[in-house]
Amino acid sequence: MSAPHPAAETGKVASGRPGSAHGPDRAKVRAAVRGGTLAYFVDQFDIYLPIVVLAPATAYFQAANLSASTTALLSSLVFASTLIGRPLGAVIFGHFADTVGRKRTTLVAVGGFGVLTLATACLPGHETIGMWSVGLLIALRFVDGIFLGGEYTTAVPLAMEWSPKHKRGLYASVITSTSPAAYAVIAAVTLLMLELMPSAGLHSAYVQWGWRVPFLIGALLAAVLFRYYLKQVHEPPTELTGEKHKLPLVQLLVKYPRVLAQVFVLMTGTWLATNMEAAVTPAQLKEHLLLSSKQVTLTMLVINAAAALSYPLFGLLSQRIGRRPFYIGYGISVIVLGAGSYTLLMVSHGGFGAALGWGVLIGVFTVGTFGPIAAYLTERFPASIRSTAYGVGYSLALIAPAFYQFYLQRLDGVLPSHLAPAVLIVLAGALISVGGLLGPETKDVDMADDSTIPKLS
């Protein structure tokens, strides 16, 4: 038997495996990470569009005589419908990513949500078709959520499979930092439009057509993403995708139920904290602190810009101390600093300046779980079911937190409405810490060697 080639022993082979010394491999790594970053940005841009962009245009879709609670409920359903569709998309597209290919499945998902975002921009209002308007909006966002769930289920594992082990934490955090960055960009665009055009009243320029512009931008971003993946991104090497299973979801549920449960706990806390920051905080800034629409939008821009800047630091920290210690510690930070900052803001009555100051801490200590999450979730599961497992693990936990408005209403008789979100932030932090505690350390996992993947701590 001939001796193995030295390059084979070091992993420096010409097959395209990450870690290769050959230039083409480095180019493929960069292309995959850039693609994952762009994909996550476009995904999150689309997700947060209705929260920011439609807030000043509620009158376009809903009757003027609805109660405040009904209006808030319908608005939350627009957001929740997208979140509920994502787990279904994760199952459907994860299956094809694991059985057909990551790149091709990503292209289908991106094309789908691009078309649906464009369709949303063309919706008629309540004056034209009555309650069908908000009904169609919710339905389109639900189907859009299916395609969005498919997009990150395929694009993110592909990027992580190409990433070298010692840089996964950093690359993951760069990818996920585009989530608050996308929110900040939407807020900036909306702020600019509110500055340039009137938004008061049903027949104002913003309410009638201005809100459509960011949705058209979202559709254009999807087209750019589609072209990038088509031209630049490659399928990962076969040793990184593993043996194909006909039913990867069944494989996940039968062989890895405890791992999935642990991820579910962590991600439930993650999404609950996210909804309190992204969906509830803007409403409380307006209703309790009485900030104007422009001040709310600017405050949310600052909150999410601070979060975006913190993600790479959290990714690097998790690479140094380990994912498990990071999540245990970060959950505690959410309880103390996240919930504390939110509470102090709500009782300060300090106006716009206080909102900007406390908002930085709220941004950094509510949604920072996402910093290394792309690395952590892909490190938790074997290659053959990685896309399905990542997508389901990431998305399944969306469902319970998506009904945050119902939980807040349950707390109405116990706490003032502006303080109730702090209770859910505390719960979110506890779930994040417990989820981290139940899981193993994963930062040294070899994506191409399933034997290095620990099941539980």
Instruction: Flag the least confident range among 233-237, 268-272, 361-365.
Output: 233-237
Question: What is the rounded average pLDDT for all residues in the chain?
Answer: 86
Kindly state the percentage of the chain with pLDDT values over 70.
Answer: 92
3-class state of residue 131 by DSSP: coil
- For residue 393, give the H/E element and its range: helix 386-395
Per residue in 398-416, pLDDT tens?
889 988 888 998 898 888 8
Residue with token string 């599961």: 381
Helix/strand/coil (H, E, C) string of the chain?
CCCCCHHHHHCCCCCCCCCCCCHHHHHHHHHHHHHHHHHHHHHHHHHHHHHHHCHHHHHHHCCCCCCHHHHHHHHHHHHHHHHHHHHHHHHHHHHHHHHCCHHHHHHHHHHHHHHHHHHHHCCCCHHHHCCHHHHHHHHHHHHHHHHHHHHHHHHHHHHHHHCCHHHHHHHHHHHHCHHHHHHHHHHHHHHHHHHHCCCCCCCCHHHHHHCHHHHHHHHHHHHHHHHHHHHHCCCCCHHHHCCCCCCHHHHHHHHCHHHHHHHHHHHHHHHHHHHHHHHHHHHHHHHCCCCCHHHHHHHHHHHHHHHHHHHHHHHHHHHHHCHHHHHHHHHHHHHHHHHHHHHHHHHHCCHHHHHHHHHHHHHHCCCHHHCCHHHHHHHCCCHHHHHHHHHHHHHHHHHHHHCHHHHHHHCCCCCCCCCHHHHHHHHHHHHHHHHHHHCCCCCCCCCCCHHHCCCCC
Quick one: pLDDT at residue 258? 95
Quick one: pLDDT at residue 151? 83
Model confidence at 364, pLDDT cuts 50, 70, 90, reads very high
Quick one: pLDDT at residue 260? 95
Per residue in 276-304, pLDDT tens?
998 899 989 988 999 988 898 899 889 98
pLDDT at 100 over 80: yes
Q: CA-to-CA distance for 330 and 276, rounded, in angstroms?
A: 16
Q: What is the value of pTM for the model shown?
A: 0.80
Give the residue from 182, 199, 160, 201 showing the smallest Cα distance to 394: 160
The pLDDT of 349-377, averaged and rounded, is 93
pLDDT at 140 over 90: yes
**CA contacts within 13 A on the Cβ side of 323:** 32
Q: Are 253 and 385 in contact (CB under 8 A)?
A: no
3-class state of residue 359 by DSSP: helix
Q: CA-to-CA distance for 349 and 164, rounded, in angstroms?
A: 48
Quick one: pLDDT at residue 154? 82
Give the residue from 209, 433, 238, 437 showing the smallest Cα distance to 336: 433
Quick one: pLDDT at residue 223? 96
Quick one: pLDDT at residue 244? 62
Quick one: pLDDT at residue 21? 33
pLDDT at 18 over 60: no
Q: CA-to-CA distance for 120 and 345, rounded, in angstroms?
A: 35
Q: Are 347 and 418 in contact (CB under 8 A)?
A: no
Residue with token string 């289920």: 153
Instruction: Flag the least confident range among 8-17, 245-254, 334-343, 397-406.
Output: 8-17
Give the residue from 377, 382, 424, 430 showing the smallest Cα distance to 401: 424
Per residue in 290-340, pLDDT tens?
998 889 889 988 998 999 999 999 999 999 999 999 999 999 999 999 999
Task: Read off φ and ψ for residue 87, nearest 5 degrees.
Answer: -60, -40
Q: CA-to-CA distance for 370 and 376, rounded, in angstroms?
A: 10
Radius of gyration of the chain (CA): 22
Quick one: pLDDT at residue 5? 39
Q: CA-to-CA distance for 380 and 317, rounded, in angstroms?
A: 19
The pLDDT of 18-34, averaged and rounded, is 66
Q: CA-to-CA distance for 452 and 383, rounded, in angstroms?
A: 11
The pLDDT of 418-429, averaged and rounded, is 96
The pLDDT of 364-389, averaged and rounded, is 93
Calculate ∠ Cα 241-247-253, nearest 5°.
Answer: 95
Quick one: pLDDT at residue 272? 96
Quick one: pLDDT at residue 457? 59
The pLDDT of 171-195, averaged and rounded, is 89
Model confidence at 239, pLDDT cuts 50, 70, 90, reads low
Quick one: pLDDT at residue 4? 43
CATH 1.20.1250.20 correct for 24-235+244-452: yes
pLDDT at 44 over 60: yes
Reading the block at residue 331, the tokens are 């959950």
Quick one: pLDDT at residue 162? 86
Cα 21 to the center of its chain, rounded Å: 33
The pLDDT of 57-61, averaged and rounded, is 86
